[in-house]
Amino acid sequence: MQKDAIQASVTKRYGTTTILDNISLSLKQGEIFGLLGPSGSGKTTFVKLLCGIEEASEGKVTVLDEQMPDLKIMKRIGYMAQADALYGELSAYENLEFFATLSGVSRRDRKDRILSAMRLVDLENELQKRVEDFSGGMKRRLSLAIALLHDPEVLLLDEPTVGIDPSLRQKIWDTFEDLRQKGVIILVTTHVMDEADRCSRLGMIRDGRLIAVGTPEELKKQTDSTTIEQAFLSYGGVKE
């Protein structure tokens, strides 16, 4: 039986505005959990709470048996933000080396980890190129490589495949599946319906509230739908 490795029961407010309204979720070891919802529904805020960047207004988040935020646990998480946090004046290799140092990758392992991560995102031939000369899709791929660098136990990825071509998206999702089978917990926010179908389970979110949780097949069956998009709309989701 899979262990609950992440547990969250949270409300988040900014001033008088409620961004997340009493969301309760448990994520299991070795699953890909997809968070599906329109822009402004609270997905990014929820991811930030899980990785310890934000604190809940009410409730708590527990990751790997420790309450967040916790610096030790944050080093065991690979986080990819919606906006790329990269140094444009540096080369891809220099960016990777900097983040490898921050995440505690040993000097001995650093080069191998960098090459391995860049192969996964099909950028191994761009290591010496300055990041300011990268396309938007290449920057997303580099950000994903950075999230994978330190072999994390938890991956929290906010729309990781935006701007990436379909063939490479397929390769990246194959990588996610390999990591899942090794016991890595992966949370992915997405708008892409075929990606949602590849998740172990889905949480559908609208206006800061969870409207449904289950496997893709369960959600389709419960709404008598043939696609995840139809299921989302049946639960009261809003099409972008």
Answer whether 218's CB lies under 8 Å from 186's CB.
Answer: no
The answer to whether residue 240 scores a pLDDT higher than 90 is no
Q: Residue 208's pLDDT is what?
A: 94
Q: For the segment 215-238, what is each residue's pLDDT rounded down to a tens digit?
A: 999 999 999 999 999 999 998 765
Q: Residue 239's pLDDT is what?
A: 55
Q: How many other β-carbons are positioned within 10 Å of the β-carbon of residue 3?
A: 12
Q: Residue 57's pLDDT is what?
A: 96
Q: Residue 171's pLDDT is what?
A: 86
pTM, two decimals, is 0.91
Q: Residue 2's pLDDT is what?
A: 61
Q: For the segment 10-69, what is each residue's pLDDT rounded down to a tens digit?
A: 999 999 999 999 999 999 999 999 999 888 899 999 999 999 999 999 999 999 999 999
Answer whether 62's CB lies under 8 Å from 40's CB.
Answer: no
Q: Residue 164's pLDDT is what?
A: 84
Q: Residue 238's pLDDT is what?
A: 58
Q: Residue 9's pLDDT is what?
A: 97
> Residue 99: left (phi > 0), alpha (psi -120 to 50), or beta?
alpha
CA distance 42 to 103: 27
Closest-CA residue to 60 (of 4, 11, 3, 26): 11
Q: For the segment 97-149, what is each residue's pLDDT rounded down to a tens digit?
A: 999 998 889 999 999 999 999 998 889 999 999 999 999 889 999 999 999 99
187 pLDDT tier (thresholds 50, 70, 90)? very high
CATH architecture, domain 1-76+153-161+183-240: 3-Layer(aba) Sandwich (3.40)
The answer to whether residue 194 scores a pLDDT higher than 90 is no
CA distance 179 to 226: 28
Residue identified by tokens 């610096």 is 71
**Percentage of residues in the chain with pLDDT exceeding 70?**
97
* Structural domain spans, the chain: 1-76+153-161+183-240, 84-151
Q: Residue 127's pLDDT is what?
A: 96
DSSP conformation letters of the chain: ---EEEEEEEEEEETTEEEEEEEEEEEETT-EEEEE--TTSSHHHHHHHHHTSS--SEEEEEETTEESS-HHHHTTEEEE-SS----TTSBHHHHHHHHHHHTT--HHHHHHHHHHHHHHTT-GGGTTSBGGGS-HHHHHHHHHHHHHTT--SEEEEESTTTT--HHHHHHHHHHHHHHHHTT-EEEEEE--HHHHTTSSEEEEEETTEEEEEE-HHHHHHHTT-SSHHHHHHHTT----
